[in-house]
Structure 1
Amino acid sequence: MMRVSTSMIYDQGVSALQRQSAALLYTGQQIATGRKILTPADDPIASARALDVTQSRSVNQQFITNQGYAEDALTLVEGQLVGAGEIIQYARERVLAAGNPALSQSDRQSIATDLRAQFDAMLAIANTRDANGDYLFAGFKSNTSPFAKLTADPTNPAAFDSVRYDGDQGTRTMQVSSSRLMPVSFGGTQVFGSENGGVFAALGEFINALERGSNLGPAVGDALDKLDASLDQVLTVRAQIGSQLVEVEQLGFIGSDLDLQYATTLSNLQDLDFNEAISRLTQQQTFLQAAQQSFLRITGLSLFNYLS
């Protein structure tokens, strides 16, 4: 028969106490952190899965953040285009009024002055900056003022008929989902037309015709055609922005649902069942107390000191 030595009994008792203490400490740490997995070694499979889900959730949250930025950028552009459309419609009314043959040259000069103010207002919109100081309608050249006023007569600074476009046709985009790069800026000519056929040319040429006092019949018709084309251009871009805003909203709903799914999955993988853990902690405390008492009884036996 195998002989049980005093040291073996003592070592076994100490080992049992250490195991019970370690289990109790582990459960206490779980309760303190609220996590059932404290280190990857506790559950390698669940830990790896939690890491994958965490990374996917982080990417999704970045898309949600980008959606917010895209919505802000598009809303700012849309607001400027609303103003541009109102200016074009008002200018159209003034052009029609100027075509009245009963008007005096003084009346026409007043309309020309009014249209100059509308020209400058439109130019201010075309050169709008966002909160970061970037020009909205400069394409990729966001640090360059896109539109500069041109003078028709260098000897007369008040005379002008168009503008020069110094931006480009680039479109800045933002990643709003794994498969969607959304345009959030527009080249100036896409919105305001070309240098020779856009809203600025229409206004400038008509202002010059008013101030020359020439026959306005052809000028009125030409200005109305160009202003109508410019308004169509603005409305087309506004329609595109409206569609994109609806898309951003839908992507936001999808992103929120995904985030909830990721959060639920992570909770199932990582979060502690407090009721189970507290019950286990109580049981482990009982086991440890019992082991301690048993160890004390064994080591306290008088015969124990004489076993060899």
Structure 2
Amino acid sequence: MTLRLSTASIYATGTSQINTLQSQIAKTQMQLSTNKRVLTAADDPIASARALEVTQSQSMNTQFGTNRSAARASLSLVDKTLQDVSAQMTDIQSLIVTAGNGGYTQSDREALATELEGRLKDMLGLANTADGTGGYLFSGYKSTTQPFTQTTTGATYQGDQGQRSLQVGSTRKMPISESGSAIFETIKTGNGKFQALQGDANTGSGIVSPGSVVDSSKLTGDNYAINFTKTGTPAVTTYTVVDTSKNPTVNVLEDQPYTAGASITFDGMSLDIKGEPADGDTFSVKPSENQSVFTTITDLIQTLRMPADGSTGKAELANRLAEAGSNMKNALDNVLTVQASVGAREKELDYLDSTGDDLNIQYQSTLEDLTGLDMVKAISLFSQQQTTLQAAQVSFKTMSGLSLFNYIS
């Protein structure tokens, strides 16, 4: 049987083969130029699907890195502002110590009060620091609301207790702001557990210490009064500690001899009173309360401007200065605690950045394994395809040139 091929068939077959070879070499050339083995999903469906997942994870990791940069900028501003706040509080503590100088006159204390007014405005300015994006650092979720407005008794907080957050990792959402209420408002008075205050009607020279907790298991959270009595000739001073929260009231300690500076201990608390309390003088002991630092400074300014005449006036000044000193110490401790928390978050961002960089390298390596090109193998294949195409072109030319008319003279 004789197989006959038409000229049209020879041309069609040859052209088809050459087109196929040209397509293959064009694909290899594209792989070489992009350094990728998988150009379309059809090249390797499984690797392509997996590469898409890895690419999405890599994009999310990149976004987390951008979020961390924004978080670091915000936390750095918070940290710097809190440093300035703590410096102001330290200066105010120094002014309180200075105000207690026994040689100071009323005009000297008036000068300190004027200086404190400036410090108060500076503190309010720091509390109302802008975040650089049209909002405020310490207003919580109410970012466009000015946090504090000065009043006659201190300042009013107009923000909320929220903390703005950013997603800085696949499983980590980090607060990037602080509530002004937590920094400036919720400051414990006294020693942080209880506060000891002199009575408004005292006429003696008794000065009470902030006191301390000696046994926290015995704390009751009740209010107490330490009442002084002078009887006999010569006069003997005694005191009675009364639990005024009970109904009827209960004497915790009764008719105890008073010794200046000696410890008065009851219900897990201990304090001392110096000086000479007068008959009928009283001191109160009650649980610590939350008080704004701006109220503390405002009260301190008023204290410095009140007369401090005689032993009674000097004792009242000393008691009020001690109270202000304790409150400012608590305020500074609170700011330092918040600042430590901010610093810890900044350090955590460094660790997350390092982890993010490692993840990016891992994702890139995985993508290279899935879609990357073996350059040596691809160049070898490209050379082979070139040789095959050239051979096909030569053979097609030869085949298409065969004709009986070439041999007829």
TM-score normalised per structure 2 = 0.69
1:175 is matched by which residue type in structure 2? Q
CA deviation profile, 1:149-198 (whole Å, cap 9, x unmatched): 002xxxxxxxxx31111111111111111211111111111011249712
Deviation for aligned residue 1:135: 0.7
Tell me how far apart the structure 1 counterparts of residues 406 and 4 of structure 2 sit (CA, whole Å). Answer: 13
1:263 is matched by which residue type in structure 2? Q
1:211 to 305, 313, 336: 305
2:382 to 269, 281, 293: 281
* Structure 1 match to 2:181: 189
Q: Does 1:66 align with 2:67?
A: yes
SS at match of 2:154: strand
CA deviation profile, 1:109-146 (whole Å, cap 9, x unmatched): 11111111111111111000111021111111111111
* Structure 2 match to 1:155: none
Tell me how far apart the structure 2 counterparts of residues 279 and 303 of structure 1 sit (CA, whole Å). Answer: 41
Tell me how far apart the structure 2 counterparts of residues 183 and 23 of structure 1 sit (CA, whole Å). Answer: 55
* Structure 2 match to 1:221: 322
CA deviation profile, 1:72-111 (whole Å, cap 9, x unmatched): 1111111111111111111001011101121011111111
Tell me how far apart the structure 2 counterparts of residues 191 and 203 of structure 1 sit (CA, whole Å). Answer: 15
Deviation for aligned residue 1:2: 6.4
* Structure 2 match to 1:5: 5
1:177 to 169, 183, 202: 169
Q: Does 1:80 align with 2:74?
A: no
1:164 to 156, 166, 169: 156
Deviation for aligned residue 1:298: 1.5
Calculate percent identity across the aligned residue pairs.
Answer: 42
Tell me how far apart the structure 1 counterparts of residues 3 and 330 of structure 2 sit (CA, whole Å). Answer: 106
* Structure 2 match to 1:246: 347
Tell me how far apart the structure 2 counterparts of residues 222 and 187 of structure 1 sit (CA, whole Å). Answer: 25
> Which structure has the larger Rg over C-alpha atoms?
2
Tell me how far apart the structure 1 counterparts of residues 55 and 183 of structure 2 sit (CA, whole Å). Answer: 42
SS at match of 1:118: helix
Superposition map of 1:90-239 within 5 A: 90-151=91-152, 161-194=153-186, 197-214=291-308, 215=313, 216-239=317-340
Higher strand share: 2
SS at match of 2:42: helix
1:251 is matched by which residue type in structure 2? L
TM-score normalised per structure 1 = 0.91
2:88 is matched by which residue type in structure 1? I
2:351 is matched by which residue type in structure 1? Q
CA deviation profile, 1:53-84 (whole Å, cap 9, x unmatched): 00011111111111111111111111111111
CA deviation profile, 1:174-232 (whole Å, cap 9, x unmatched): 11112111111111110112497122111110101112234311210110011011011
Tell me how far apart the structure 1 counterparts of residues 318 and 2 of structure 2 sit (CA, whole Å). Answer: 123
1:12 is matched by which residue type in structure 2? T
Tell me how far apart the structure 2 counterparts of residues 25 and 174 of structure 1 sit (CA, whole Å). Answer: 47
Q: In 2 relative to 1, CA 298–150 (structure 1 residues): closer, same or farther, beyond 3 Å?
A: same
Which range is displaced more, 207-216 or 63-72? 207-216
Does structure 2 conserve the Cα–Cα contact (< 8 Å) formed by 1:298 and 1:304? Answer: no
2:115 is matched by which residue type in structure 1? D
* Structure 2 match to 1:263: 364
* Structure 1 match to 2:45: 44
1:146 is matched by which residue type in structure 2? P
SS at match of 1:128: coil
Higher helix share: 1
SS at match of 1:40: coil
1:124 is matched by which residue type in structure 2? G
Does structure 2 conserve the Cα–Cα contact (< 8 Å) formed by 1:193 and 1:233? Answer: no
* Structure 2 match to 1:154: none
CA deviation profile, 1:241-271 (whole Å, cap 9, x unmatched): 1211121111111111001111111122223
Count of paired positions: 297
Does structure 2 conserve the Cα–Cα contact (< 8 Å) formed by 1:135 and 1:144? Answer: yes
SS at match of 1:100: coil
Deviation for aligned residue 1:4: 3.5
Higher relative contact order (CA 8 A, sep 6+): 1
1:284 is matched by which residue type in structure 2? Q
Tell me how far apart the structure 2 counterparts of residues 202 and 229 of structure 1 sit (CA, whole Å). Answer: 11
Does structure 2 conserve the Cα–Cα contact (< 8 Å) formed by 1:198 and 1:226? Answer: no
